Every structure is written in C-alpha cells, then in structure tokens.
Structure 1
C-alpha cells in the first residue's frame, strides 16, 4: 500500500474509532467512555472535544453531565488533566501514580512539600469536603492558608495535584467557567477494581477502541506505561485484537473495528467517498491529532510545527478535511449576551482551500455555534480560496 493511501486508510479507521465519522449522536458520557480519556487541561477545548463527537449536544447539556458525575476530570496519566469515566479513574491511576509521584518528588521537596505537609493537606481536604461539599480552587487554597499551609508560588497547584493523584480529590461540579473540587470516593460511588495485568490489558484495549489502529509505541507514548507493561497488556488482550499491516508498519485494533473483512465492498467505497467530503473544527489538544506518537496519518510533517509551535506542548485548534489537518483556527465570540451573541471562526489554512471545503467548514462552524448556544457568525478563511 502506497504511503498516501496507507495514511488515508489509517485516518478513516481512526476517525471511526474516535466517533468523528460517522458521528452517531452518542451521549457525552458515552463519548468519553469510548475514548477512555481526553486531554483536558484546557477545559473549554475539552468540552468541545466531547461535543464535536456528540452531534446535537450543547454546552449546557455537557455541563449537566459533568455536574451529575457522569464525566470526571482528574489526572489519570502523564501528569495531565483528562476527562475520564469516573468508574475507570482509580484503576488507571493504579497503573500510573507510583511513577508520576517519583517524577514529582524533586519538585515537591524543593517546595518544602514533605509527607507531613501532604498528609495534613489531605486531612484538611477530607474535613472540608466531606458530606458532598465542594470548593473552587481559590476557596480550597484559602482554606489551606487559613490552616497554616502556604500555597504560594505553585505549591497550591502541586498540593491539589498530589491529593488528586493519590485518590483523595477530583474536579467535580461546574463553577462558572471552571470546576470545584470534591472528594473522589464521594463523587465516584462505584469504581472498578482490576488486578494489575487486567488493568494493563484494559488500558490498551480501551485506548485501541477509541484510537485504533495504533502501534504499541503510540500506546506507550499516550499512557506513559512502560514497554514491558504494555506488552503484558497486549498478551492478555490479544484474543480481542487484530493486527493490521498498513504500509510497512504493524497496527493493532479491536476486531470489531476492522473493516477489512466487511461483506460489502461497495459500502466501504461509499464510506470513503463520504469521508473525502468530511470537515471538522477540532479543539486544541484534540485526541485525533494528539493521541499518537506518530501523527503523519493526520498531518504532514512540515505542518506539524504550526499545530504545536516550537514543539512547546501547546496544541492549537485544528481544521480537518478528509481526515487531514489542513489548517488551524480560532474563535471570536461577540455581541454581548443572549440571542445577539455570535461566534466568528477565523481559519489559517496551510494552503489554498476549495469552495466546497469552505462550505463544509461553514457547516462545521454552525455545529460549533449550536453547541455553544450562540448565533453562527462569519467564517473567515485567510489566503486564497480555490474556485
């Protein structure tokens, strides 16, 4: 299979796994469950990452799902905030926490965050939040300060991170444009319990269900498990997986996502034609691009630094047409409040954009406006538009 053809095949399969094509109007909680984890340090971006995979959903509806505890935001892996199903957070941290704490120890020691400070902060958190209470980040840090624990500099963030990473806290109900902190064992009532090898296998299988086809190296990068742990997971999950050689690389995916043996070749061809006409406005840090070590299936190498300028770890919102990242975008919401508010989409394409692509992107902008609950404004595509 030629390189470009291989990338198109991978992109189609990944879009199907990620719930982008065809989008099936899954509820927000089901979207998160199918992907297992969506990077979420940028809360507004992470909400749209769910919304774009849940056609017809709204920001208000998603906030309601968060407030109901159907979706939980915490630090399950990579030391980075993610949205995850609440029931899965505990076993994910079982796989990742020890290594992350070891990595954080020098920073905590330099800030005077000793074991005694950590445990005193835990006692105070449990006392303040027990019985279904919640506190914003600012209020939580004020509570620590009143009880003699300094949150100066980054100490407040690191204390919250430690308490969440070790299973005491998570982010709970919405509080304006942020979330409030709650006790994890009160917010998540029925956590799953898995044995180590079972957890490694579940980690790999769920990643592949939401991101496949992908390589074992992609999974190791995404999860930050060790290669040995990933291989242990593969050994357990292997009966549920198929190996596909695409180009000259072996990829893994759950058997139910494989279309190679589908009965109707015409249906596959039709899906590929529809995929060629697809267009999405995906948020910053979206899993479609971020979720892999090798991202050439979705973006040319020469464009990747425009998506992550300076390779600084900050991923920009991306414009995707026919499975390929063809530019970046930003939004401008104006018009005050109520029905007069509108969102304008400014697109910076990597090259000339066809009129049909602009029309498809305008429809994508309309979907985004519906999600926000505002009027769809102008779509501004910088550069030349092909006729």
Structure 2
C-alpha cells in the first residue's frame, strides 16, 4: 500500500486548490471547478475564495461569471448547504443531492402547514399548486424578489407558526419555503442580489436563464459516483468518512458510489485513505506560499479530519457548530486567523512561530485584500472566537 504523508497531502492541496502562486488564475469558474464547488452560505465567501486564488481578479470578475456569462450557479446541495458551482456540474448535483432534498423540504414544510391548521384538505396538493402558480408568476416576470412574487400569488402570504408555544417561534409566511423548494427542484435560481456582493437578498430567476433546456436528468447512482470522483480528484486522498461528511450521505450511499469508481487504498499516517487509481503519482512540492482564506472557504471545509493541516488551532478558529472563520495559511497549514475591521483594516494574528519569510508573505497577502473589499464590510455570518477578538 502506497503511503502518502501529510506534507504530500499539503502539496496536493496547494496545487489542486490553486493556492500556490503558480496555480492562481483570474478565471472564477475555473477556480470553482478546482474545488468542485464554492461554499456560498455566506455570500462573501464565494468572492473571497476567488480573491485568495486569483492574480488580479476583482469582484466584478465573479459577478460577470455569475450573472452575465452565467458559467456559475447557486444551489442547495450537499448537507443542505448553499454552493456556487460550474453550470456543467448542476445536473450531477441535482440528481445526487438536490432531488432528494426537494422531497424532504416539501415533506417538512407540508407537515408544518398541516400542524398549523391553516389549510383544509390535501395540504401537499395545495402546496404543489402554490409552487406551480409561483413558478408561473416568475416566468411572467422573468426576475423577481420574494415580495414581488407574494404580491402575484397571495397564497405565499399564508402565515404559519413553525414552533407553536415556543418563546423563540414567530409566525412566518411561506414565501421562502416555496421558493426554497422550487430551487431544490431545479426550477428556479437565486440571481443577482439587491445590494453589494456581500448581500444575501437575492432576486429569483427561472432556471432557463442559466440552462435554456433546463437541468438534464441523470441517474442518481451515476451522479453520486461522478460527484465522489470529482471530490477525490480535488480533495483526495482521504478516508471514506470524509466523503460521507462532505456529501452528507449515508455510509451505504458512499459505498455504492465508490463501488462504481476505480479507487486505490493508501496509508495516511496509519489511517486508510482513498484516492483515484490513476492519481497515485507524487505531486511536486510547490514554491512556498501564503494565503488568507475566508470563513467557510471550501479548502478547510473539505475534510472532517483536519489535523494534518489544522493542528491544535480549532478552538480559536471554529464556532460551536463547526463553521470555520477566516484563516491564515502557510505552506499547506493553518497558522493563524484574520478579520476585516469596521474601518476596512485587515487585522491578522499568528497562532504559532512561522519565521520572517512567512510573515512577509502573509503581510503581502493581507495587503491585497483592502483593494478587493473596497467599501464593502463583510462580517462573517458565523462568528468565531479569534475573528471576534480581532475586530473588538
């Protein structure tokens, strides 16, 4: 069994994730392909993930890929998480993740509506009818906010208390529920936001604006194998447990997907890892590199087992729900954190001694960020201990 050391895994990470200087590009869609998908729960993450891997790109490059070229698309997929993905991967994610998610979301929302007692009769049939009417309203408009669609389809304003009797619960209308379900089904897409690139108030657009023929239908098992293959190309070698965590699937789903692929087992410091069988050749160590990655960047969020690049720094850099904050990297390891202060200053803190060369490289990376942010102030959606300390 071939052994792959942590240092070789870090070299792969630097090259495959376009973090080494020689691998950087201003192609936003190309960066997304290198990582399979860009985390988009926090809208700013998409832009800052591109910034860290680009040479001279600006937010306008990402906006062009999203809203003009439409080579990238937002959707809910793995672990019911928002991602921005290359459009050619959308059918794979739709069949492997989103279709099942749509079923689950409709079941959940239907149960809440039924429990609220606001609809007589067939709740699922009523909900499906509201979804279809909302879709028709969006087709007529071409682009719309949730408020505009609820004006067109009054049933979207139906009020439901999702947790009656609980002090934290508040009645809400079903607009977002319906739009999320339509999005999971691949019928509508989150388009350009109202506001800056860090805003999460999106307009909605029919899927045909990105994919004129709609989303191609794929076999779910084939799609899952394709997704795992792409993940292994970008993040392998790794234990099967990392695949399970990243996809959010069951152990059985992961095993079934792996059975369709030609994979090899490797030794990862005493743990069995998996890699595509044609990807066993050593990866040359790249030149020394530094990077400032944003909160929820797909690189640190790509694995469940993070010791080989995170060390002992998790308590300062993660929140209680497992969301990572902004991180500083040196040669494939996390060595500190950073934050944007209210005045736009980029504050950094190292958590270990990295030497003068590393400090110079890290300062150079930090110096690139104010020009990227401009007047935008992007507070991470999930605050971490170190990030809070740096902005206080």
1:283 shift after superposition: 0.6
Give unpaired runs (5+ residues) of structure 2: 117-122, 161-170, 377-386
Answering whether residue 211 of structure 2 is matched by residue 188 of structure 1, we say yes
Most deviating of 169-178 and 359-368? 169-178
Q: How far, CA to CA, are the matches of 1:109 and 1:189 in structure 2?
A: 34
Considering only aligned residues, what root-mean-square deviation do their CA atoms show, in Å? Answer: 3.1
Listed as ranges, the matches of 1:55-204 within 5 Å are 55-68=55-68, 69-97=70-98, 99-101=100-102, 103-104=104-105, 105-106=107-108, 108-112=110-114, 114-130=123-139, 133-141=142-150, 143-145=152-154, 148-150=157-159, 152-153=171-172, 155-177=174-196, 178=199, 179-189=202-212, 191-204=215-228
Q: How far, CA to CA, are the matches of 1:51 and 1:37 in structure 2?
A: 15
Count matched residues.
353
Q: How far, CA to CA, are the matches of 2:278 and 2:55 in structure 1?
A: 23
Q: How far, CA to CA, are the matches of 2:337 and 2:182 in structure 1?
A: 36
- Check conservation: 2:150, 2:157, Cα contact below 8 A: no
C-alpha spacing 1:169/1:10, structure 2 compared with 1 (3 Å): same
Q: How far, CA to CA, are the matches of 2:173 and 2:315 in structure 1?
A: 29
Answering whether residue 303 of structure 2 is matched by residue 303 of structure 1, we say no
Listed as ranges, the matches of 1:306-345 within 5 Å are 306-310=316-320, 312-332=321-341, 334=343, 343-345=344-346
C-alpha spacing 1:283/1:117, structure 2 compared with 1 (3 Å): farther
Q: Residue 51 of structure 2 corresponds to which residue in structure 1?
A: 51
1:87 shift after superposition: 3.1
Give unpaired runs (5+ residues) of structure 1: 263-267, 335-342, 376-380
- 1:251 alignment partner, SS class: strand
Q: How far, CA to CA, are the matches of 2:91 and 2:159 in structure 1?
A: 28
Q: Residue 163 of structure 2 corresponds to which residue in structure 1?
A: none
Q: Residue 9 of structure 1 corresponds to which residue in structure 2?
A: 8
Q: How far, CA to CA, are the matches of 1:111 and 1:281 in structure 2?
A: 44
Most deviating of 114-123 and 70-79? 114-123
Superposed CA deviations along residues 69-127 of structure 1, whole A, max 9, x for unmatched, are 21101102211111112232233222224543565434551244942343233223322
Q: Residue 273 of structure 2 corresponds to which residue in structure 1?
A: 251
Q: How far, CA to CA, are the matches of 2:59 and 2:279 in structure 1?
A: 29
Q: How far, CA to CA, are the matches of 1:285 and 1:192 in structure 2?
A: 29
Q: Residue 211 of structure 1 corresponds to which residue in structure 2?
A: 235
- Check conservation: 2:264, 2:275, Cα contact below 8 A: yes
Q: Residue 231 of structure 1 corresponds to which residue in structure 2?
A: 255
- Check conservation: 2:159, 2:173, Cα contact below 8 A: no
Q: How far, CA to CA, are the matches of 1:187 and 1:382 in structure 2?
A: 38
Q: How far, CA to CA, are the matches of 1:137 and 1:367 in structure 2?
A: 36
Most deviating of 251-260 and 279-288? 251-260
Superposed CA deviations along residues 297-328 of structure 1, whole A, max 9, x for unmatched, are 2101x321222122x24321111112111122
Superposed CA deviations along residues 104-163 of structure 1, whole A, max 9, x for unmatched, are 434551244942343233223322221671123444455555765348537433322211
- 1:159 alignment partner, SS class: helix
- 2:63 alignment partner, SS class: helix
Q: How far, CA to CA, are the matches of 1:353 and 1:141 in structure 2?
A: 55
Q: Residue 361 of structure 2 corresponds to which residue in structure 1?
A: 360
- 2:224 alignment partner, SS class: helix
TM-score (normalised: structure 2): 0.79
- 2:358 alignment partner, SS class: helix
- 1:245 alignment partner, SS class: strand
